[in-house]
Structures are given as C-alpha cells and as structure tokens.
Copies of this chain bind each other. A is one copy, B any other.
Amino acid sequence: MDYSKLNGLIPAVIQDADSGEVLMVGFMNDEALARTRESGFATFFSRTRNTLWTKGETSGNKLAVRDVLLDCDEDTVLVKAERLGGGNVCHTGERTCFSRRLDAR
C-alpha cells in the first residue's frame, strides 16, 4: 500500500456488499487497515480526533467486512461490507452518507 500521497492515509470507500450502494468514504492509516482486516469490522483513522475508530462502536451499526479490494495505484481501498445493527451508516440517521444530490442529468 502507498500511504505517501496523503501523509500516511488512504481513502477507503465503503460499499454495501449486497445492494452496491456507496455508503461512506473514510480514511485509513496502516494501523486502521490492519485492524479492519484482523477484526473484520471497518476501522478508520479520524483526522479530527487523531485516533482510530471502529464504525459503529457506539451505535452498534458496525460494518462487517466481506471483501477488501485494492486499486491499481495501491493508494485506495474499496471495502465491501454488510451493515449490522440498525443498518444506518450515516450519523444523520440516513442509510448512506451520500444522500444529497448536487446534480442530476
């Protein structure tokens, strides 16, 4: 993995393994990616809190990892996951963080 382009971080795209919906984008450092792979639950590095966090650790809406794909440049991962708990991924209570439309054609 190439963590050099974003000061030790890579973007991690979370996609619903069943519906294909893109749920959120977070950032991982090498420790967060290792934790994600070991624990089986999507874990990120919080840029604002400067710490690891496992999605759903308080809400219960964890993301169970089904698959981790690497891009051609090795600087981004795509995590296919199953939603646990209530299934709402966004802190606003929506199913996905991408719930607002900027443009439609």
Contact = CB atoms under 8 A, between A and B. Distances in A.
Interface in A78-93: 78, 90-92
Contacts of A103: 37, 65, 67-68
Contacts of A94: 72
Interface of A: 5-6, 11, 13, 15, 19-22, 24-25, 37, 40, 47, 65-73, 76-78, 90-92, 94, 97-105
Q: How often does this chain occur in the complex, in copies?
A: 2
Contacts of A47: 5
Nearest to A1: B102
Contact of A24 (B37, B71, B102): B71
A66 B105 contact: yes
